[in-house]
Amino acid sequence: MATASLAKPFISGLLPEDRTARLAMQVGLAIVGTLFLTLTAKTKVFLGPVDISLGTLGIFLIAALFGSRLGLATILLYMAEGAAGLPVFQSSPEKGVGLLYMMGTTGGYLAGYVVAATVVGLAADRGWDRNPFKIGAAMVAGEIAIMGLGFAWLAMLIGSETAFTAGVVPFLLADAIKVALAASLVAAIRALRA
């Protein structure tokens, strides 16, 4: 029994047993999660030629703490809010809203968020969130998915060389720092509940 409880994501230990109350809390957490994701997306760090948002940090934290099901549901709700025209993304409404924004230069990165949330959430479901190196490895895999899909989409729009120099290289150091920070925070939060 102890082994099974270790493999549950952090948030599952806080949810009520009653099915209706559990569902209500999960819906509430998903909504709060989208607000957190909006806040992290809108928080920009200025490093050189591009603005770096904390959006990926938010994605990794939500996925690792919520697990695959609730984490993915939260990310999909966030995407649905953006598709509906709510200004939840980093450069919205300045650079557009809704599906038009999502199909623009950031479309691949947004698709990568869904893949990254799934990868990190599944790792958390398996108990990797208790070890910063294991959850960090899952976050690196998620980061590769974000960058890979972002690059592929951007390359279709502006060409491979430009996409790599403008859409990947400027983000590598900052994203490595965000992965390390997210992995450390998740492990610290897990340690508090141990």
Q: Pseudo-torsion of CA 95, 106, 129, 28, nearest 10°? A: 40
Q: Are 69 and 121 in contact (CB under 8 A)?
A: yes
How confident is the model over 123-172, as pLDDT tens digits?
999 999 999 999 999 999 999 999 999 999 999 999 999 999 988 998 89
Domain with 65 in it: 2-193
Q: pTM score, two decimals? A: 0.91
- CA 41 – CA 62 distance, rounded (Å): 13
Q: Are 184 and 134 in contact (CB under 8 A)?
A: no
In the chain, the number of structural domains is 1
Here the CATH number for the domain that contains residue 94 is 1.10.1760.20
- Residue 189's DSSP bridge partners are none
Residue 5 in this model has a pLDDT that exceeds 60: no
Nearest residue to 35 via CA among 65, 5, 78, 72: 78
Nearest residue to 64 via CA among 141, 176, 153: 141
How confident is the model over 44-86, as pLDDT tens digits?
887 666 678 899 999 999 999 999 999 999 999 999 999 999 9
Task: State the pLDDT at residue 47.
Answer: 67
Question: Which of the four pLDDT bands, split at 50, 70 and 90, describes residue 3?
Answer: very low
